[in-house]
Chains A and B, each alone.
Chain A
């Protein structure tokens, strides 16, 4: 659908104050709740609204509350790494809302902050909502003051007022409104408080019912003021229609390459608001993609640059410092008469108390492992029964029923095989194996995330990442990888340095992802748990799985270190990590939302991949040539190599078939084993995946297939150390735009997996 910006005459703008009633309704603060959330359906809109703010102040929460969309939220800085768009209707006008990545500043030249800046500067939104953290107002005001230099079409959303109250911090929003010249609306977006007032203010500013006061920038430094004037005048003479010339002049003086390039290409002159239009401003990215941009105004700007260069000589060195310093002096002044801090910082005290324990020298690490162990243990124990229930329903009952139905309507045997024995069974398997552990693991993880624990993990582990030559925020991307590696890869955008980001991308695969947990859990329960007496079996198999996960973390460090010593050499980049205040977790909302936006999402992806894979498995097991099936030919061919590394041909073939999704490795192995061993009475024919009735039957089958304890140990090892699934590989390519790094990320773990399993098999052979 084409996006249409309504013409001014089409707008039914009521230019009367929206409050002409009595009592509460007459109060300018009163708002009726006439909001309609539009989700992503914003093809026609009256106004564009940008949503900016420091990292981790609740922008995504505000975005979700207004649009009804489900942007993932979590209590750690840098979570929103791309722009998200949605819409809402208020007072019969359509607003398009753009959620921007968190930014500390508009002048730092980091990639995600540039996205925010470019949108505000070039996208020219009708209104910009700046979300600020009421508990950290002074620091947040730096960004507010910077944005106010570009536009005064601003509404400040003073978020997290409930948190501020808990900490005893009082903010006088009226005097803040006076100081800033734009409406300041207190909200608590997590609890949907104050949003009606926020919308009212946005609507008032958009419709010019509320006239904001532009801030007039005054420079303390006289020379700087003159230099800005001179450069500004020259920019105006070249581009008379350009706005914000003073701000642009200051940027040119500060040698801001992106602004200089935008001036040269003349792109600043256009009014753009769609994604496509907007991306052309990303000159750096365009050049990386091999596209040409023409610098039509190269000559004019060359003169301006020359002028700026000569003026810069007279200015103090590092005058950039002074610019920022002035903002903070201003912010300090504003905060000092709008904010009252408590004598005793009561809420802050609790936060500090928790922080001192979870980051303490003695308890920091044990607590981290304990949390991981508890989460895994609950997942392993809790997933057992629902998994059995689903297997009974979908496999024991559903499969025979569908088979019966198919033969009744007289479907050809091969179509029946592909559809029911292949596609249906693969999908049913994936659902019954994956859904229960995900439905437990993701909410638990989300609770920790929502509470604010993850940044503390990053804080504790940073020293190790530093020793490995990589970035402390890699701990956050690694944690995401425990859920899904593709999601982990995308989250590496929070790392600014390209070198450190590549390290994080290549090593993310060592975080054991959700698709691999079931394999680990099943094999550990069968072979490792079986080594101990029954009452210890659960504990021992949990310990084995944790050991594999910890091995993955260890490999993350080792491989990061090796990469930063060899092909990704370089200095560690500047590191700073904000530790956000803890937020009381909202249990029911977390359960509900993580089920919706994570569990269902990952499950859906698994199903999409399981359907064709199921068909493929059935086909390779049933198409014969030379007397045996394709699968049998391949297994015979790969078996010698498989045995050498302590696995077998069946497992290797299963890993080839399961490249699209790790989840279907186990079902594929079982199906192929039945076919090869010819064990009867267990399946329903070649290429049919099935659930085994009990662990004994499963053990019997696998032993008939030649499995030993070594096979189990090496399967668990190989499941950790092998190539990422095809979705993750594709994501790596999308993120790096490099065939070389995609190959490294795909092949390095595979080769390592072969080496490690070979070593285990050979050492094992010496002792057993």
Chain B
């Protein structure tokens, strides 16, 4: 199973679900930002320090640290 960490530049992913280890406020916040099953996410920006990276999520540009992207399970979509 892939996580959002594996998303390569220029590719699109579809959220399957949030990992069970992602609980409490972290889970609520990701859900509220629109990271729910079925949401399409694409890579938006690199970072001079390689982390965090920014993603297009439901029309907004959201920066996420690796701790969070590793808990977002996705399937890679072909363009």
Contacts and interface: CB of A to CB of B under 8 A. Distances in A.
Interface residues of A, number: 45
Nearest to B63: A577
A320 B27 CA distance: 10
A320 B52 contact: no
Contact of B48 (A139, A325, A360): A360
Interface in B31-54: 31-34, 36-39, 44-52, 54
Interface string A249-262: 00000000000000
Contact of A574 (B20, B34, B68): B68
B75 to A, nearest CB: 17
A461 B48 CA distance: 9
Contact of B47 (A139, A324, A460, A573): A460
Contacts of B34: 138-139, 142, 328
A325 B29 contact: no
Contact of B46 (A136, A361, A573): A361
Given A574-B25, A575-B68, 5 more contacts: A104-B33, A329-B38, A365-B48, A460-B49, A462-B63
B44 to A, nearest CB: 7
A324 B35 CA distance: 10
Interface string B57-79: 11111111101100000000000
Interface string A396-425: 000000000000000000000000000000
B47 A138 contact: no
Contacts of A320: 27-28, 31
Contacts of A135: 59
A573 B48 contact: no
B3 to A, nearest CB: 15
A352 interface: yes
Contact of B49 (A138, A324, A463): A463
A574 B26 CA distance: 5
A324 B50 CA distance: 31
Contacts of A365: 48
B4 interface: no
A576 B33 contact: yes
A108 B25 contact: yes
A398 to B, nearest CB: 50
B68 A576 contact: yes
Given A352-B44, A576-B33, A578-B60, A496 B49 contact: no
A462 B48 contact: no
Interface string A85-128: 00000000000000000001101111000000000000000000
Nearest to B54: A579
A110 to B, nearest CB: 7
Closest 6 CB pairs of A and B: A463-B49, A364-B48, A574-B26, A105-B32, A104-B32, A324-B31
B18 interface: yes
Contacts of A137: 59
B5 to A, nearest CB: 15
Interface string A326-370: 001100000000000000000000001001100111101100000
A325 B61 contact: no
